[in-house]
Amino acid sequence: MSLTLKTIQAGVSGTTLRLRSLTINDKDVPLICDFLSKNPHITTLDVIGNKIGDAGAEMLAGTKTITTLLVAANKIGAKGAKILARNESIAELNIAGNKIETAGAIALAENNRTRTKLKLSIRPDERQPFLAALKKNTTLTEIIIPQQHLGNEFMNTVAKIAHRNRVKLPVMNSMLLARSFFQAQRSWSSSVLAHEEERMDACSLGKLPQELTEKIASHTLSNFNVHNYRLFSEYVVSYDEADWEIAKETIAFAG
């Protein structure tokens, strides 16, 4: 039986569209995507237990409003997993129970853009290539692998990577903020900052070479403001990089 608009509408609850175990296939997905485009308040799509394949996965990957996608127990392969891995709006993805093969698992592990939660199935022979790719990931903070036969060492390593990312993510966000700060103040007008001293500090930072500002930005100060970054930049110009941590502590204490 083909999926109908009435069935889709009945599956809406708040910001979630739940269409589990309805034998939905790739031919039904355009209707779902059209409904989602007209209802942007829906951010979670649950189509677990259907027959969606790579073509359907590609269409779902094209949606811009879905941040949680549950496609477990469908017919998605490596091609569909790779396409979903490139999506930049889906933060949580459950793709367990699909035959995504090694290539699909690696593509999902390597994603370093927006994915924070991933649930997938992998085979024992896929453990090492998956881990090698996962070690490069910096955004996944929750990784769920349902299988019980993959070994404690493997599962502990996965857990450690997720923990590492949970700890490092706030620091990385601060680094991005610092880089944005340096890029932005190159185009600031004098009216942006209220005080003359701040304007002078920003002007000084704006004249630094791009390579140097990148280095400074990678050493995010806990006390984030224009004046402290200018003090730090002056220290950076004069001293070796090995001494920068001392400068950061001194400036943070003084601030």
> For position 252, what pLDDT does the model report?
47
Show the low-confidence residues of the chain (pLDDT under 70).
1, 112, 148, 167-255
Q: What is the pTM assigned to this prediction?
A: 0.67
* Spatial CB neighbours of 142, under 8 Å, sequence gap ≥ 6: 116, 117, 118, 162
Go through the chain and tell me how many residues it has.
255
Domains, the chain: 5-150 (3.80.10.10), 171-254 (no CATH)
- Strand 117-119 versus strand 92-94 pairing type: parallel
Pairing assessment for the beta strands 68-70 and 44-46 based on DSSP bridges: parallel
Q: Residue 227 has what pLDDT?
A: 58
Residue 250 to residues 11, 151, 227, 247: CA-CA distances in angstroms? 57, 46, 14, 5
Task: Please give the pLDDT value at position 231.
Answer: 60
Contact yes or no for 208/233 (Cβ under 8 A):
yes
Secondary structure of the chain: what % helix, strand, coil (to 5)? 55, 10, 40
Query: For position 136, what pLDDT does the model report?
Result: 86
What strand order describes the sheet that includes 68-70? 12-13, 16-18, 44-46, 68-70, 92-94, 117-119, 142-144
**46, β-bridge pairs:** 18, 70
CA distance 247 to 113: 32
pLDDT score recorded for residue 8: 97
